[in-house]
Amino acid sequence: MRRTLTILGVASVALVALDVILGLWVTPPDADQGELVRLVYLHPALAWVALYLAFGMAALCAVLYLWPRTRSMRFDRLSASAVEVGVVFIGLTLITGSIWGRPTWGVWWTWDARLTSTALLGVLFLGYLALRRVPADPEVRARRCAIAAIFAAVDVPIVHFSVVWWQTLHQGATVLNPNLTPTIHGLMAWTLLLSFIAFTTLFAWMVLMRFQIEELRESGEDVELTRALEARRAEGVAS
Amino acid sequence: MWRDAVLIAGRDLRIEARSRVALWQVLPFAVLTLLLFAFALGPRPGLLAQSAPGLFWLAVLFSSVLAAQRSMAIEGSGATRDSVRLLGLDPAGVFLGKVLALLAEMVALEAVLLGGVVLLFHVTVTSWGVLIGACLLAAVGLCTANVLYGSLAGEARMRATLLPVLVLPVVAPVLIAGSKAFSASVAPGSGSGARWLGILVVFAVVYSAMGVALYGPLEES
Amino acid sequence: MNAYVAAGYVISLGTLGAYGFSLAIRLHRASKRGRREVSS
């Protein structure tokens, strides 16, 4: 585990650094977007990690936890770690999207379907983390959180469709330029691909670290509990 | 399952008939929100009538959370848990019973709020069918989601603050679809409400099914 | 460099760096405590 963590850590830092260097200095500016196109090496990869990877992983681990055959506290911890890291990524997705939106659309925020459902998903994530903080027996908490994750996952398509219809019916023409990401070639495409790999690796590293912290904390509590029990028992024998 | 549901619904409604919490606390709150919305937007009737669909559903949403808090407070006491367990009631039945009782309260609340919106905000409804359908379907969705999340949120101490954070983002589609259906029923030119009723049906069905399947494991704790 | 691009990169990398660093510190502390407990 230690080895995997080190390898993942070194790899993710190196890949992200390479992505930044290529994205900021090596790739050429775009014909339409100019310098702004450099955000394409950051924002879509963050969104991919937050919306698909983190959320999918949390939901998958929740199902694996609830399934009696694969029930293990590990899945509960993995699910929680994915959500916690996912919240960081979803926040950055919204921030970078907003920074990109300001010069492109002229506003920091627009009630576009994708933006709105991303924000709602972020609030759902936060609700999950709030639920985790409710003091309860670990088993009870794990079951509650797994069920909450599944509820949220089921809610996502409903949210998506209602928001898409709400937006399109409300505004008529969308302010989002469908050609926002113009066709890209060569080095730009490779850098874009690299950004996805880099941030996926970074996500894996962070989730694994978070998971490991939780594992160590649980085992530490177990050790402390057995020690306290032994101490009490020794007192009983002595008296 | 249905026998247990009727039993639990009857119990919850009897408790409400004696304690009158929904009547004296939730209902006044709902009417109060309408007044507060009017204060916030100013007395121009045109603006109020225009915003009425959204404001109506916001009032319904907020009141539904309060009503659910009350409903789960009944379930949360230790004696109730023990008696439900001792009677060996089917958890799916308990869930449906709680939803049914809450549904009765919500429909009454929606009726009062609808009257309030029509009278105070000068709304003229043209197609009552769409509106009433939306109210009923949304009530089912709201009640199922609220009971589920109320049970999820755990002990009473935390539930008061946790339940709104958990349930309000989840019921956002109900707010969107409900408001749109309301708008469609006010101005017939603004498109059909069928699509929005569809979302409400899907929401109600999905959360009812999940409640029947998952309420048991949730309440085991 | 474009100010928006710079802001986007600085905020993202700064946040991720800070979060990753705090995770590494927490992991380090937790594993140190765990080893101490197991060995004693």
Query: What is the pLDDT, as a whole number, of residue A177?
Result: 44
State the amino acid at position B201 in one-letter form: V
In this structure, is residue C9 part of a structural domain?
A: yes
Average pLDDT over residues B65-75: 87
- Over pLDDT 70: what percentage of chain B? 96
Q: To the nearest whole angstrom, how far is the Cα of C26 from the nearest Cα of chain A? A: 7
State the amino acid at position B11 in one-letter form: R
Query: What is the pLDDT, as a whole number, of residue A184?
Result: 54
Query: What is the pLDDT, as a whole number, of residue A90?
Result: 94
Contact between A153 and B168 under an 8 Å Cβ cutoff? The reply is no
Which residue out of A118, A143, A147 would a mutagenesis test of the B interface target, given it has the greatest number of B Cβ atoms within 10 Å?
A: A147
What residues of chain A, 72 to 91, have a C-beta less than 8 Å from chain B? none
State the amino acid at position A66 in one-letter form: L
In this structure, is residue C5 part of a structural domain?
A: yes
Say how many Å lie between the first and final Cα of chain B, rounded. Answer: 21
CATH class of the structural domain A2-176+183-222: mainly alpha
Query: Is A127 within 8 Å of B166 when comparing Cβ atoms?
Result: yes
The total domain count for chain C is: 1
Residue C17, chain A, CB below 8 Å: the answer is no
Structure tokens given for B164: 């709104």
Cα–Cα distances (Å) from A165 to A112, A221, B180, B198, B217, in that order, read 11, 50, 10, 12, 35
In this structure, is residue C17 part of a structural domain?
A: yes
Q: Of the given ranges (A38-52, A93-107, B17-31, B69-83), which has the lowest mean pLDDT?
A: B69-83
Q: What is the mean pLDDT of each run of 10 residues along chain A (239 residues)?
A: 88 94 86 81 91 91 90 92 95 92 84 84 91 86 90 85 70 42 68 93 95 86 81 80
Question: Which residue range is the domain that position C2 belongs to?
Answer: 1-29
pLDDT in tens, B164-207: 999 999 999 999 999 989 988 887 665 667 888 988 999 999 99
Contact between B154 and A134 under an 8 Å Cβ cutoff? The reply is yes
Structure tokens given for B2: 């249905």
Structure tokens given for B38: 């009017």
